[in-house]
Amino acid sequence: MARVIVDVMPKPEILDPQGKAVHGALPRLGFTAVTDVRQGKRFELEVPHVDDESLAEVHRIAETLLSNPVIEDFTVRVDA
Amino acid sequence: MNIGVVTFPGSLDDGDARRAVTLAGGEPVALWHGDHDLAGVDAVILPGGFSYGDYLRAGAIARFAPVMEQVIDAAKGGMPVLGICNGFQILCESHLLPGALIRNDHRTFVCRDQVLRVENTETAWTRDFSAGQQITIPLKNGEGGYVASPETIRELEESGRVVFRYVDVNPNGSVNDIAGVTNERGNVVGLMPHPEHAVEDLCGPGTDGLGLFTSVLQRVLA
């Protein structure tokens, strides 16, 4: 078995209220070095083998279900 | 006139939507998310709620429910389809309507009687309104911020496909105060506020919501 990671992030131009809320909480906790926070989602997909075919399928899964291309970008990578 | 109302796991306002259809003079037909046909209905309503618990993204899982295959085919064939709140989110996820709904910019759930301006009275669901008419219906959502690419927004504005616009206050950060949009053909309409909660004087802010449900009866008769 192998693991493929899909990271889904809100597009840079899309407002990310959750990231903003997290960022807003940091100074209250005494953390002052962080200038911005964006919040996304990480999916871990188990596949029998990593090959072109299975990666192509993960790409299709990522673009049809895991992300909404109107508001989100995604990346696919094999877990080392 | 048979108007189907789809119930997904987590739908909340399917009962009110069916009642609104009855009060408007139509015959409501309860449809189930697992159905593989639309029982011969003349139009379909996707009601509000939290289908599949809003897991992944609001509407993202419901969009792949078995019944949606039929709804998408029928909508592309011209059948009137109305999506309210979560139903609007499902229509966007289905790509029957452009854009997407994201978390409210102020990050809190909003629940209020909301004034809207009806900007397009040519759609299957808005013929009984007059152009520019202001109506007041409840709004209740956590993820109601309408967004789309600048090109899409321009196209919607130039082609008059913004059907409802928030008046006085923008309750959720929607681009251009957009509360509802339609497809090119005008048979598919989605909006965040809830017309089905404003169909009787006894409860809710009045009966301004009834017009959507009477409009589609005209359309089906025509």
Distance from CA of B46 to the nearest CA of A (A): 20
pLDDT by position in tens, chain B (length 222): 999 999 999 999 999 999 999 999 999 999 999 999 999 999 999 999 999 999 999 999 999 999 999 999 999 999 999 999 999 999 999 999 999 999 999 999 999 999 999 999 999 999 999 999 999 999 999 999 999 999 999 999 999 999 999 999 999 999 999 999 999 999 999 999 999 999 999 988 999 999 999 999 985 555
* Active-site position among B33, B93, B143, B194: B194
Contact A70 B105 (CB under 8 A): no
- Look at residues A47, A45, A42 and name the one whose alpha carbon lies nearest to residue A72: A42
Give pLDDT, residue B221: 55
Distance from CA of B177 to the nearest CA of A (A): 15
Closest A-chain CA to B106: A17
Q: Does the domain made of B2-221 have the CATH classification 3.40.50.880?
A: yes
Q: How many Cβ pairs closer than 8 A exist between chain A and B? A: 36
Contact B100 A71 (CB under 8 A): yes
CA distance A76 to A63: 11
- Is residue B196 among the annotated active site residues? yes
Place domain A2-78 in its CATH homologous superfamily: Phosphoribosylformylglycinamidine synthase subunit PurS (3.30.1280.10)
Contact B173 A15 (CB under 8 A): yes
pLDDT-above-90 percentage for chain A = 98
DSSP-H helix ranges across B48-197: 66-76, 86-93, 150-158
Of B64, B105, B148, the CB nearest to A17: B105
Q: Which residues of chain B does A71 touch, with a Cβ-Cβ cutoff of 8 Å?
A: 100, 102, 147
Of B100, B107, B145, the CB nearest to A70: B100
Contact A71 B147 (CB under 8 A): yes
**B133: which residues sit within 8 A by CB, 6+ positions away?**
B117, B118, B121
The dihedral through the CA atoms of B193, B149, B80, B89 has a sign that is: negative
Give pLDDT, residue B203: 87
Are A6 and A66 contacting, i.e. CB atoms less than 8 angstroms apart? yes
Closest A-chain CA to B145: A15
Are B109 and B138 contacting, i.e. CB atoms less than 8 angstroms apart? no
- Is residue B85 among the annotated active site residues? yes
